[in-house]
């Protein structure tokens, strides 16, 4: 049975040799092409930054604080910053995270004598206007810096920090925002050191931040 | 400049329904409703809430208070959360032999193992 099939196959193809040669040629061509494209070790461009440091997170910002003043990255340089992206209409996670932020800076200051500047950036600037944001934040801790701004500026900073946000559950004018609720620890040079998710408790967050700051050689210039 | 145009924008109002006092009142009304739902769980659920949640007529008053105290999107969010919690509970309490692999919510940022 099998033999017979082979022989019929061969009979159908008039020149099996030429097909083989064609495949061989193709393989040689691909190999030659690969050899041409390969970059030898030590040659070519250096990708040291991406190889050692990973993706770049963060960047310049130009937003408005709760007093209507423009705030840029220059105002934040020199501080350790705990940066949180949220929105005041969040039903449960938002208030819990802001509370966590306030309690964490309390712990850091009283137990470790570490000063960290808490910053709340809204991802819902249409509803979180400066005065609303101010009233909301004051109920937690007035040391928290609230930032809002034009939609384009908020979108830019969210993209720089790779913050996901999406309007969901729209009911008339009312809606929720689906977002990751992550917090970033930023060093005095405005570089992101770590990010923390909602699963960190206040104590865990304070401990992780302490460890990170003690490990880092950069000291707070304002201390 | 765009920033200046923004700060002079009108409608810089305060939405008091998400501030501390209203939030706590909403949480209280919500908890009272779900407590009623647990208490009256043997009754037939005839009334329909949001996201497919059903509740018995005995909890109608609690439901009304809850809906009055919270934003509609919040009610929907909490109802969805309650249904998800119930579903997990049902899977966990279900007959051993019928139990399949469970996907429980997992933390989603990397947490290095504690070195202390």
CB contact under 8 A, A70 and B3: yes
**Sequence-ordered strand ranges (E) for B1-116:** 47-48, 54-55
Would B63 be classed as within a structural domain?
A: yes
Q: What's the CA gap between B65 and B29, in Å, rounded?
A: 6
pLDDT for res B1: 45
**Per-residue pLDDT, B107:** 64
Query: What tokens were used for B57?
Result: 């007529």
Task: Tell me the count of A-B CB pairs closer than 8 A.
Answer: 73
The tokens of B20 are what? 């501390």
The CA distances from residue B7 to A64, A112, B52, B79, in Å, are 8, 38, 43, 37
B10 within a domain of the structure (yes/no): no
* Predicted pLDDT of residue A223: 44
In this predicted complex, what is the ipTM? 0.73
Mean per-residue pLDDT for B101-106?
67
* Helix B60-69 / helix B20-39 crossing angle, nearest 10 deg: 160
Q: Supply the mean pLDDT for chain B.
A: 81
Residue B30 lies in a domain: yes
Q: Which residue has the tokens 């007959």?
A: B95
pLDDT of residue A50: 47
pLDDT, greater one: A18 or B35: B35
- Domain tally, chain B: 1
Residue B44 in contact with partner chain A when CB distance is under 8 A? no
**What is the rounded CA–CA span in Å between residue A186 and residue A184?**
6
Higher pLDDT, A53 or B91: B91
Does residue B113 form part of some domain?
no
Query: What is the pLDDT at residue A185?
Result: 95
b/e string for A15-46 if b means 16 or more Cβ within 10 A?
A: eeeeeeeeeeeeeeeeeeeeeeeeeeeeeeee
Give CA angle at A185 (A181, A186), nearest 5°.
125
pLDDT score, position A13: 55
CB contact under 8 A, A150 and B3: yes
Q: How many whole angstroms separate alpha carbon A54 and alpha carbon A49?
A: 7
pLDDT (average), residues B70-82: 93
Binary contact (A132, B78; C-beta < 8 A):
no
User: Is B106 a member of any domain?
Assistant: no
Quick one: closest CA in A to B79, which residue?
A91
Q: Which domain holds residue B72?
A: 19-91
Q: Does residue B107 sit within a domain? A: no
**Which residue of chain A comes nearest to B14, CA vs CA?**
A132
> Can you list the residues of chain A whose pLDDT is less than 50?
1-2, 5, 7-9, 47-50, 221-223
Domain A62-215 in CATH 3.40.190.10? The answer is no
């Amino acid at each position: 049975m099998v033999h017979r099939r082979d022989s019929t196959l061969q009979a159908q193809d008039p020149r099996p040799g030429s097909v083989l040669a064609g495949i061989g040629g193709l393989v040689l061509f691909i190999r030659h092409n690969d050899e041409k494209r390969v970059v030898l070790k030590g040659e070519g461009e250096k990708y040291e930054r991406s190889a050692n440091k990973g993706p770049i997170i963060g960047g310049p910002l130009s937003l408005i604080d709760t007093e209507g003043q423009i705030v840029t990255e220059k105002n934040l340089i020199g501080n350790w910053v705990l940066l949180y992206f949220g929105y005041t209409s969040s039903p449960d996670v938002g208030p819990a995270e802001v509370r966590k932020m306030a309690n964490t800076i309390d712990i850091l200051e009283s137990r470790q004598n570490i000063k960290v500047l808490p910053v709340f950036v809204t991802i819902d600037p249409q509803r979180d206007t400066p005065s609303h944001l101010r009233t909301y934040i004051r109920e937690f801790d007035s040391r928290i810096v609230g930032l809002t701004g034009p939609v384009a500026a908020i979108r830019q900073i969210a993209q720089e920090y790779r913050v996901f946000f999406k309007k969901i559950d729209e009911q008339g004018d009312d809606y929720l925002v689906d977002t990751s609720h992550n917090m970033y620890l930023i060093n005095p040079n405005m570089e992101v050191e770590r990010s923390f998710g909602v699963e960190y408790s206040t104590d865990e967050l304070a401990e992780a931040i302490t460890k990170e700051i003690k490990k880092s050689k950069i000291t707070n210039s304002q201390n | 400049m765009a920033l200046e145009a923004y700060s002079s924008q009108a409608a810089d109002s305060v939405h008091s329904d998400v501030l501390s006092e209203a939030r706590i009142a909403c949480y209280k009304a919500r908890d009272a409703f779900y407590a009623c739902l647990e208490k009256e769980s043997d009754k037939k659920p005839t009334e329909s809430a949001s996201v497919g949640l059903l509740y018995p007529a005995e909890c109608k008053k609690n439901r009304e208070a809850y809906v009055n105290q919270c934003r509609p999107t919040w009610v929907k969010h909490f109802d969805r959360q309650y249904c998800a919690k119930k579903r997990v509970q049902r899977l966990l309490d279900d007959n051993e032999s019928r139990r399949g692999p469970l996907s429980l919510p997992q933390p989603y940022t990397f947490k290095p193992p504690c070195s202390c």
